[in-house]
Amino acid sequence: KEIELPIEQVCVADELIVRPGEKIPVDGAVLSGSSSVDESMITGESIPVEKIEGDPLIGATINQRGLLRMRATKVGADTVLASIIRMVEQAQGSKAPIQRLADSISSIFVPVVLVIAALTFIGWAIVGNLTMTSAQAAGVMSASNPWIVAIVAAITVLVVACPCALGLATPTAIMVGTGKGAEQGILIRGGESLERIHAVRAILLDKTGTITKGKPELTDAIALEGMSVDDMLRLVAEAEQGSEHPLAAAIVEGAKARNLLLNAYPDRFTALAGRGLEATVEGYTLLVGTRHLLQERSIDFDAFQERLEALEQQGKTAMIVVIDGRPVGIVAVADTVKVGSAEAVKQLREQGLSVWMITGDNQRTAQAIAAQVGIPAEHVLAEVLPEDKANQVKRLQAQGLVVAFAGDGINDAPALVQADAGIAMGTGTDIAMEAADITLVKGNLKSVATALALSRATLRTIRQNLFWAFAYNVVLIPTAILSPLIPFLRENAPIFAAAAMALSSVTVVSNSLRLRRFGRQV
């Protein structure tokens, strides 16, 4: 008897049915059926994984084509997804906040100014009363009351030292910087995120969905002499139209992109789980699959051995095409590198960053992708599980490096939170964006270099603002203290102090507004 239950009521050992296109509800194992499952959100493996009887299933991954009957082995808080969420929450709770420079300075500056103003009042009151008679005789402070002179001097110190410029130094730069980032598709969580990212010295880039597109595409079609590549690819694509497998969809889309007309559908079609397919199309019998499939059928493919190995070394999934019992060519599919990824890695390295690639994918594929974008082989971390991604970030942090992590999947969330600066692709999952300090709306890796440059420009502007605010006080506080001795100030000193205070605030705001030109400088 088949019944529908809320996921909260599923218990260990329950038997469940997962239809094509549905999410696998809990962790379990296949009892019967076969399918391909997209596990990229958890493992980072870009190519869907074939599942047959006895194979493990991970909750929240997507069943793509076949009907699966499974037994639940872990439910609720025990599932892989729940453990990832727990890790994210723990990492968020352990991240120490950065103390604002301006706040810590203000906490010292304000009491010091109050003391200086008090000393100014006391000093001029004593000097005025002691020298009042002689000063009047000399005409220096003509009929001025020494207590009024002292009060005016003290007020001048307080007005001129009003920390408006100091208070505006940080928020104005952050406001303009984050606004400029938003214009360029870089969403920055706040000033603390900007402060974190500017100090980054090493960056870990997740492979699937960050460096690569995250879905398979047709990359190669090779035919033996005497066979047209277009004819071979057209027949293969027509045969693959009978399959729901993601690799089949990639071949069909690749053939259409080459303007090949797919007018026929297979008359007979058999999917061979984990190995390939057998079909009859346009009167030809086609076999498309792995070397293991050809070995099972005792078909000699020595002529393709060298090319097969070369394609596999590049991290591609290569399939041999057999027509009417004769091997005629190879089609290869791979998760391809995003446009601009290689340039982005180059820009990051030019900024002095140590660039690493991290992935749950196999070592061979990882090395092939890294070579394409210019990441050194020794900076490639492959076959890394979700919990180990966060550990790899900790390992680099233990070496004294300030680490940024860029990723897009649920499996990246713990590492995004653990990193000093987390960068999520806007094309990725909600949990990744929630865990990150910065979200790149376009999902373009080149925006990582732009975000780092923007954060440095913003922090540079904040330092300049703080410098001008302090330089202004260093010059004008002594002037305010001595204002009774300066002929054109004296009683008018507070007016000049107010004007100077306003000018310092305008200077700081104007300097922050220079960040609006950032896009033209990058």
Which positions are annotated as active-site residues?
A: 206
Asked if 250 and 216 count as a contact pair (C-beta separation under 8 A), the reply is: yes
Return the structure tokens found at 128: 């005025």
Query: How many Å apart are CA 105 and CA 102, to the nearest integer?
Result: 5
Residue 440 φ then ψ, to 5°: -95, 105
Asked if 69 and 33 count as a contact pair (C-beta separation under 8 A), the reply is: yes
Asked if 168 and 509 count as a contact pair (C-beta separation under 8 A), the reply is: yes
User: Residue 451 in 3-state DSSP?
Assistant: helix
Asked if 335 and 215 count as a contact pair (C-beta separation under 8 A), the reply is: yes
- The DSSP line for 142-192 is TT--HHHHHHHHHHHHHHHT-THHHHHHHHHHHHHHHHHHHHTTEEE--HH
Return the structure tokens found at 71: 């037994």
Query: How many Å apart are CA 179 and CA 185, to the nearest integer?
Result: 10
Asked if 208 and 42 count as a contact pair (C-beta separation under 8 A), the reply is: no
CA atoms within 13 A on the CB side of 386: 26
Between vectors from CA 254 to CA 251 and to CA 257, what angle results, nearest 5°?
A: 155
Strand partners, 233: none
The structure tokens 């260093």 sit at: 474
Return the structure tokens found at 47: 């190519």
CA dihedral angle for residue 345, residue 349, residue 353, residue 357, rounded to 10 degrees: 40
b vs e for 488-511, b when ≥16 Cβ sit within 10 Å of the residue's Cβ?
ebbeebbebbeebbeebbebbbeb
Asked if 106 and 166 count as a contact pair (C-beta separation under 8 A), the reply is: yes
DSSP structural state of residue 303: G
User: Residue 313 in 3-state DSSP?
Assistant: helix
The order of strands in the sheet holding 15-18 is: 15-18, 68-74, 27-32, 56-57
Query: How many Å apart are CA 193 and CA 98, to the nearest integer?
Result: 9
Using alpha carbons, list the distances in angstroms from residue 184 to 37, 90, 207, 448, 515: 36, 32, 23, 11, 13
CA atoms within 13 A on the CB side of 419: 33
